[in-house]
Structure 1
Amino acid sequence: MKRILLLAILALAACKEEAAAPPPPATMTAEAAGHFCQMDLLEHPGPKAQVHLDGMPHPLFFSQVRDAEAYRRMPEQSHAIRAIYVSDMAVAPDWENPGADNWITASSAIYVVGAAIVGGMGAQEFVPFSDRAAARDFADRHGGVLMDMDDIPDHLVFAPENAPENAPSGDDDSEYLDRLRAITNTSGG
């Protein structure tokens, strides 16, 4: 009887471990559309991201890594995030073709932040690498600093592409610009 009980406990433990394992990354295909923009990912340069949600059979794809990080940090999520994968630009063929299967976990990547190159949606990008030397080489060529994702402050994640001080001003939109300045100048992290 003890032997049967022990086997049952081991089987349940194995099921829990299997259920807790994150899903593997999905291959980026022509059917993959950006979650926010609903545009074909293959038509946009730069690294991409995919977010796997609890209870959802397919990941959410993002045209830019920065967009996936914004999604992760937004408090309004309806499902728990099980895994986030980003394009590994250390092994990507090039900027125009970041690769369909060279995914790494977002938490393990080192990011080049502030490079003088834009992502797939024309906004500043957080460029992920599995290799620190490759990230350093990219930063030497394009500018930027190396950071872990959790060290990137909220104001860089949520800042609009055209910062308020660079946006055209006029009497009709000054109140909007003031509110936008207030939002982007407060950093929660």
Structure 2
Amino acid sequence: MCTHHHCINRRRLLLAGAASGLLAACGRSPEGGGALVPVEIDRSTSCALDGMLLADYPGPKAQIHYEGRAEPDFFCDTVEMFSIYLNPEQVRAVRGLYVQDMGKANWDAPEGHWIDAHGAWYVAGSRRHGSMGPTIASFAEEADARRFATEFGGKVLRFAEVTPDMVVLDGGALHDQRM
């Protein structure tokens, strides 16, 4: 049998644990600092741009965390994330960007292995395709990016080297001379 004081402390502990779980699920750390953490995708996670289910497509996924929003915007392709982020009309304050480390994640069914997009290595122009066709592969380690580029082609880049003209979302239609 518990004393009144013991029951109140236990209830506070349970409520604190539940709050921590909710904060972690929303991409925030329970510590007062508001540290940002990536949010894992599941079978129902959809792309912020087109509603495609991320889990149904190959290649690296991405997420953008905006100031004042508990949930991130998810993208079924790194090209989409870069296109939104590098868009001159992008005015929302960005708290964080995450991409998947394709040196560890399974290309055909990527799960987990989220890394900060700013510190990642990228391979643009490879023969590997993501959900929307040609994609920009993301890696935590330079050696993994270079191995990937050797096997599948492409150029190894850092975050700041990815430019808006590399991430146009028209599917090549603007450059198709047959149209």
TM-score by length of 2: 0.77
Q: Note if 1:95 corresponds to 2:107.
A: yes
May I ask how many residue pairs the two structures share in their alignment?
148
Q: How does 1:118-157 map to 2 (within 5 A)?
A: 118-122=129-133, 124-157=134-167
**SS of match in other structure, 2:52:** coil
Name the residue aligned to 1:35: 48
TM-score by length of 1: 0.73
Name the residue aligned to 2:98: 85
Deviation >6 Å, runs of 4+ = none
Between the aligned residues of both structures, percent identity stands at 32
Aligned-residue offset at 1:133: 1.1
One-letter amino acid of the counterpart of residue 132, structure 2: M
* Structure 2, gaps ≥5 residues long: 1-31
Cα RMSD, aligned residues only: 1.7
1: distance between equivalents of 2:173 and 2:146? Answer: 27
Aligned-residue offset at 1:139: 0.6
Name the residue aligned to 1:65: 78
* Structure 1, gaps ≥5 residues long: 1-16, 170-189
User: Once the two structures are superposed, what CA deviation does each residue of 1:14-73 show, in whole Å capped at 9, x if it has no partner?
Assistant: xxx814x4x100011122100111111000110000000111110100010010011111
Q: Is the 8 A contact 1:55 1:79 kept in 2?
A: no
One-letter amino acid of the counterpart of residue 51, structure 1: I
1: distance between equivalents of 2:71 and 2:42? Answer: 13
**SS of match in other structure, 1:18:** coil
Aligned-residue offset at 1:160: 3.0
Residue from 18, 21, 29 that aligns with 2:33: 18
